Amino acid sequence: MAKGQHQANRELTEVLNQIWRLDTNRLRPGTDYIISLQGRAGYVAQGSNSARDMARAPLFTYVNEAKLKSIKTFAHFISLLDNYEASTGLSETVTSEELKENRLFIDSIMETDVMKCAHKYLVGKGQSPSDPAQFQKQLYDIWFRLYHRDRSGGEDSCGFEHVFVGETKFGCEVLGLHNWVQFYLQEKHNHVDYKGYKARDNKSTPDEDDHVLNLQFSWKGLVKPVAGSFIGVSPEFEVALFTIIFLMSSEKMTSVVVKVDEYMLELVVYRNGRSIGTSYPKLLSSNNRDL
């Protein structure tokens, strides 16, 4: 690895761990929520809609919804989850109420130490304006600006919808949906069927207190072969982390391997012009367990 690249990854690791430590809104496994990992999911080809169900019960056994909804950033985040048309190719219509909800969400995350830390880092790197209002506009463009995902339709997608809410393509494929709160709420309403965790072999199994998992599930009757997701973390943590990676690279696809807390992760970000196309974590190992 080139010296400059090594230095960049070391800096990135430092700031991401700082953001992790500042994430006081993160929920605690075994206390604020309980998950049941059950069996290891098998191989499913992309586009296939049959998967052996290795998990008879839901992933989430319990979530303290009262606590979840009492935290401002989570409450504003949840209000955004019903604002989108799931199918690509169908233009999104954004109402004035939805625009207001988007801005309230950005306002709320900007009040957190997590986003203040991310902003300070990005200003220091010359990637973001120092004026908080201008930084909020930058965040809005990265996460909420509509663009074409399916070229046959109108402006049918945005980074927030893809990453946090999920989309379907041609009624045969699940796109995105890398957020644990959306997964839990969809599972609660019987829209998601958890099929099991993903790991490289039978010897390596994640723990039920892990904050990052690779999952297999079906949503709206369509199978997602594998999706990396943080579990329990706040929305501001994910927005901060992926915004930093997005802005620190101009590549169409950026993949960085970092150790955040006890987790060795591959963090992947695809860009769509000035906006995020997709972003997600892949759990590589945890506490020296190779997954």
Residue 149 to residue 127: CA distance in whole angstroms: 26
**Which own/partner pairs from 108-111 qualify as long-range (CB within 8 Å, at least 24 positions apart)?**
108/72, 108/73, 108/76, 109/73, 109/235, 109/236, 109/239, 109/240, 110/135, 110/136, 111/72
The radius of gyration of the chain from alpha carbons, rounded to an integer in Å, stands at 18
State the helix-helix crossing angle for 113-124 and 235-247, rounded to 10 degrees.
10
What is the token pair recorded at 91? 């233009």
Sign of the dihedral defined by the CA atoms of residues 185, 189, 192, 195, in that order: positive
User: Are the C-beta atoms of residues 197 and 41 closer than 8 Å to each other?
Assistant: yes
Residue 177 to residue 155: CA distance in whole angstroms: 19
Active site residue ranges: 162, 178, 224
Q: How far is CA 46 from the centre of its chain?
A: 20
Q: How far is CA 212 from the centre of its chain?
A: 10
Q: How far is CA 68 from the centre of its chain?
A: 17
Residue 118 to residue 15: CA distance in whole angstroms: 8
